[in-house]
C-alpha cells in the first residue's frame, strides 16, 4: 500500500522581544598602536520591548518514505519597526 499527501499550511508565531543596553560607549579602534580610545560619548541605559508577529506559509509533499517541503517563507515584524525575512526548506526520508 502506498500513500501520498499534499499539505498546505499557514501559521503564525506571536511573542515579545526585549532589547537592553547598558554602559554603551563609542570607541575609536582605527589606530592599533594606541589601542581603543573612548570618545566620551556614553549613551544612557535603555531597554525596549516589542510585540513580534511572524506569519509563515508553505507547501509539503509527503510520500511513504520521504517528505519534500517547498521553501517556507517567514516574515517577522515587530512594533518597534524591525523587519526580517527567512526562507527554509525541508527534505527528510527513511532509506532502508
Domain ranges of the chain: 5-93
pLDDT for 62 equals 80
The neighbour count for residue 58, using CB atoms within 10 Å, is 19
pLDDT for 88 equals 67
Q: Which of 64, 81, 67, 71 is nearest to 17 (CA)?
A: 81
The rounded distance, in Å, linking the Cα atoms of 31 and 54 is: 43
pLDDT < 70: residue spans in the chain = 1-3, 70-81, 85-90, 92-96
pLDDT for 2 equals 62
Strands 46-62, 5-21: pairing is antiparallel
53-68 pLDDT, tens digit each: 777 777 777 877 777 7
19-29 pLDDT, tens digit each: 888 888 888 88
Quote the pTM value: 0.45
Amino acid at each position: 500500500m502506498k500513500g501520498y499527501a499534499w499539505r498546505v499550511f499557514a501559521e503564525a508565531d506571536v511573542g515579545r522581544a526585549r532589547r537592553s543596553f547598558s554602559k554603551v560607549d563609542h570607541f575609536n579602534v582605527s589606530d592599533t598602536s594606541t589601542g581603543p580610545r573612548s570618545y566620551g560619548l556614553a549613551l544612557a541605559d535603555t531597554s525596549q520591548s516589542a510585540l513580534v508577529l511572524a506569519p509563515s506559509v508553505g507547501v509539503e509533499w509527503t510520500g511513504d518514505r520521504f517528505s519534500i517541503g517547498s521553501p517556507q517563507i517567514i516574515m517577522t515584524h515587530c512594533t518597534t519597526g524591525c523587519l526580517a525575512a527567512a526562507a527554509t526548506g525541508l527534505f527528510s526520508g527513511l532509506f532502508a
